[in-house]
Structure 1
Amino acid sequence: METFLIVTQIILAILIILIVLINVTKGSEYGAVFRGAEAIFGGAGPTNFLNKVTMILVLLFFLNSILLTKVFTEKHKPLMLKTGIPQSPVSNETFPPTPPSIPIPPKEPLKFPESTK
């Protein structure tokens, strides 16, 4: 099942790339190539048809991605539960450790020498 979904994902990705590359928009320089398509797709040309196909392929790609994620997670869940989150050994130290000697300022107010005027 997982292999089928992966192959489907690759095929959908390739089809989306191809549809986007041949999509003809207004002002496109490649529009002259697809002028004969007006007879097949109607007066609007292939743009409406290609836009619909693009939306359908993107939707299928999205749904396949979700399904592939669900299948992969369910298949590998026991492995994820066994390994768990690696825990570091717990020590009694506080983090961050305090330096052993911190100079403490004196509690007396500072005396400045009087300046002579």
Structure 2
Amino acid sequence: MTSTLLIVQIVLALAITVAVLLQKSSSIGLGAYSGSNESVFGAKGPTGFLAKLTFTLAFAFIVNTLALGYLYTTANTASVADSIVPANNAAVPAAPITPASTTPTAPAAPTVTDNSVPTNNTVVPAAPTSEGTTPAAPAAPTAN
């Protein structure tokens, strides 16, 4: 059925093209080749007939396009995008990943080891000086 409607669509497109080109315009178009046909269509020439024919063909073209669209969507339920495989073969998650716990947690307290770099509010004992005494440790910060 769709192949028949597709052939009708092509014939209608060609018929509309010919009907439009046969109409008289400022540059005459293909109407210059049909000079002897003016007596067949009456005193006014083919303008009324070709205008009605063009409208009828355009209406049939639109109806045929809608019918083709309806038949195509009912016959094909799959999309072309469903068959596309990503280049890196990465799997797309089906649903967004939610965190296990939604309650905020406090940050962990910093730990100090012998080889660690001092961070905020940590006191590292100073190394002994050449005189054998250790300098006084800096005072711990006080909270306001």
- TM-score computed with the length of structure 1 as normaliser: 0.63
Counterpart-to-counterpart distance in 1, 2:14 and 2:49: 18
Counterpart-to-counterpart distance in 2, 1:9 and 1:47: 25
- Pairing 1:1-117 to 2, within 5 Å after superposition: 1-25=1-25, 27-29=26-28, 33-77=33-77, 79=78, 89-92=95-98
What runs of 5+ residues in structure 2 fail to find an aligned partner?
83-91, 100-144
Relative distance call for 1:12 and 1:87 in structure 2 (3 A) is farther
Displacement of 1:87 in angstroms is 6.9
- TM-score computed with the length of structure 2 as normaliser: 0.52
Relative distance call for 1:66 and 1:54 in structure 2 (3 A) is same
Higher relative contact order (CA 8 A, sep 6+): 1
Displacement of 1:29 in angstroms is 4.0
1:23-73: CA deviation from partner (whole Å, max 9, x where unpaired): 114x44456554422310001100101001100000000000010011101
Relative distance call for 1:19 and 1:32 in structure 2 (3 A) is closer
Give the percent of matched residue pairs that are identical in Structure 1 and Structure 2: 31
What runs of 5+ residues in structure 1 fail to find an aligned partner?
94-117
SS of the residue 1:3 aligns to = helix
Larger Rg: 2
Displacement of 1:22 in angstroms is 1.2
The AA in structure 2 aligned to 1:53 is L
